[in-house]
Amino acid sequence: MTTAVLAGSTGQVGSSILTLLLAHPNFTSIHAYTRKPLSNPDPSSKLTPITSTDPSSWPSLFPRTPTPKIMFSGLATTRDAAGGFDNQRKIDYDLNLDLAKAAKDAGVETYVLISAAGASAKSPFAYVKMKGELEDSIKALGFKHTVFVKPGFIAGERSNRKVGVAEMGLRWLAQGMGGCGAGVEECVGAGWGDDC
């Protein structure tokens, strides 16, 4: 039986990860970082929210007993929501890396990061460069297993967010591609990999 930690548990991707973890019988304990109360907390004792409005305190709150075996990070924001790229980097890079270091120090064996398609530290584009730098920094920590999930455009409803022309165009394109715009479970099934 496995203890997991999740950062980004209320976001579009992280909330889906949380739902899957809560439903999966191999996960007996899930610690989920959040700035606000979870909207639908698990009635069982399987879920332990780590709630703090100050994300800079999150690494010091990393659970250690029992030792989590795996950490998932879907933690990310947008440039607009953060108030500029420098603030976005504080969350997408700095906080993610600080949490990964806390995970490594706690003995976590497997680290799973939701990154971005095209992530490369050599990219001329700030966002994918930042994601590539984060991947390189996390790789250097030396987890037993490190997994980078690199989704392309993530369509879906977002709260408190304006939809720009580019996003509308990408949504239209994804819908036109049929199955490629469907949910992961619809495309590949609900199974989990054996080795992360």
* Top-confidence residue, 41 or 141: 141
Topology classification of domain 2-152 = Rossmann fold (3.40.50)
Residue 95 near residue 120, CB atoms below 8 Å: no
Dihedral, CA of residue 72, residue 77, residue 78 and residue 84, to nearest 10 = -130
Residue 84 neighbours by CB under 8 Å, 6+ apart: none
pLDDT one-digit tens code per residue, 49-100: 999 999 999 999 999 988 999 999 999 988 898 999 999 999 999 999 999 9
Domain ranges of the chain: 2-152, 155-196
Per-position DSSP letters for 94-119, written without gaps between them = IIHHHHHHHHHHHT--EEEEE--TT-
Task: Return d(Cα 129, Cα 124) in angstroms, integer.
Answer: 7
* pTM reported for the whole predicted model: 0.78
